[in-house]
Structure 1
Amino acid sequence: MQPRHPAPADALPPAGAPVPADAPGPPTDGAPVDHAVGLAHFNSLPFAAAEAAFLECCGSLRWAHRMAAHRPYPDLGALLAASDEAGYDLAPSDIAEALAAEPAPCLHHDAPRAAHLALRAAHAAYESRFGHTFVICLDAYGPSQHVDQVLAGIRVRMEHEVDEERAVTAEELRRLARSRIVELVTADLGR
């Protein structure tokens, strides 16, 4: 449902858009974030460590292997473009593997019990209809809007035919991977 490591709402451009080296990331002291430092560190990781990091972005071993094998990436835009390309090439079994690796939906402990129950019921109905967990990228929304957006998303997507929902799910996985990659490269800045 949510990114494993939530990225800020403005962290990602639309899929396929070019990303400058100073693409937005977590808040800093007001200066633009230069992803080159984090990317350079990431490019220098041993293959197994890079592959494991990519698996945190998308749970498909084939996708993670391909992403790690194509390093070094010259800039964040190239890395995100490679992520999109690898995502579009995923076979149904790869998508199933990635969906199986997605974390269970969670709310803050102080969320009302009714919100927990509604979310659990909606997810159960979705999984019963489509046979996999519901995924949605929530980068455009603040944490206070997540429950409403997930519930609205499930309600809308329950109306989809199986093939249509398969396509939407694959796109949401690509969006989540992009978000997590930005987080990954930005996290390397602190090392």
Structure 2
Amino acid sequence: MRLPFPRSGADHGRPATPHTGPARGASSPLHRFNAAAPAAARNMLLACCGSRRWAHRLAVHRPYPDTDALLAAADEAGYDMTHADLTEALTAESAYHPPTDGPGALAATTALRAGHAAYADRFGHAFIVHLDDFRPEERLDQALAGIRARLTNDADEERAVAAEELRQLARARLARLLTAPRAGATRP
């Protein structure tokens, strides 16, 4: 099912005008995103997902009436990524490097780094996984378990899993961008 994109005035030959929707102040992160220059908006989006086509698609369909509309558009753009878009986005990702404190963290981190190397050698890109649903102290173990399990996937199956993980990561990063006091994302 395709979700309709909100159309900006630019789609009809008029300049786009920022719209923040009800209960949004002029300084809200969504308003700043909607009002940002096209290049600045694309850069914000590229911090969430490394596909230029994904970022361009979301940037040109501004303004978004609310965060849910933007997140829905991000999901749709994620599902519509071509093989080349996904390759570009996965190439832009870097390996997860968890904190190395606590008992056993050094051994687990060493195992995770070895897993990352094996994964990159097998699939040609960094292992990515969405870990926001786990407590910080569980993330290292979850990443290690995930990489071990996914190393058994064939290339097509893993590409589908990586695409879904990327979509979830992009959505979470975008949500953080829109809740930050100032619009400017950093990757977790």
Instruction: Please report the RMSD computed on the Cα atoms of aligned residues, expressed in angstroms.
Output: 2.1
* Partner in structure 1 of residue 55 of structure 2: 64
Distance 1:58 1:69 in 2: 16
Match of residue 164, structure 1, among 138, 157, 175? 157
User: Which TM-score applies when normalising by structure 1?
Assistant: 0.77
Match of residue 41, structure 1, among 32, 42, 46? 32
* Partner in structure 2 of residue 144 of structure 1: 137
Q: 1:190 to 1:94 in 2, by over 3 A?
A: closer
- Per-residue CA distance 1:13-54 (angstroms, 9 max, x = gap): xxx9xxxxxxxxxxxxxxxxx777321121111111100000
Distance 2:183 2:131 in 1: 25
Q: 1:189 to 1:105 in 2, by over 3 A?
A: closer
* Cα pair 1:35 1:76 within 8 Å, conserved: no
Is 1:177 matched up with 2:176? no
Aligned residue runs from structure 1 range 111-122, under 5 A: 112-122=105-115
Q: 1:87 to 1:35 in 2, by over 3 A?
A: farther
Which structure carries more relative contact order (alpha carbon 8 Å, separation 6+)? 1
Q: 1:143 to 1:89 in 2, by over 3 A?
A: same
* Cα pair 2:42 2:59 within 8 Å, conserved: yes
* Partner in structure 1 of residue 180 of structure 2: 187
Deviation at residue 132 of structure 1 after TM alignment? 1.3
Query: Which structure is larger by alpha-carbon Rg, 1 or 2?
Result: 2
How many matched pairs? Answer: 159
* Cα pair 2:96 2:128 within 8 Å, conserved: no
Is 1:135 matched up with 2:128? yes
Q: 1:174 to 1:35 in 2, by over 3 A?
A: farther
User: Which TM-score applies when normalising by structure 2?
Assistant: 0.78
* Partner in structure 2 of residue 80 of structure 1: 71
Distance 2:71 2:159 in 1: 22
Gaps of 5+ in 2: 4-22
* Cα pair 1:42 1:188 within 8 Å, conserved: no
Sequence identity percentage:
54
Distance 1:35 1:119 in 2: 42
SS of structure 1 residue aligned to 2:47: helix
Is 1:96 matched up with 2:67? no
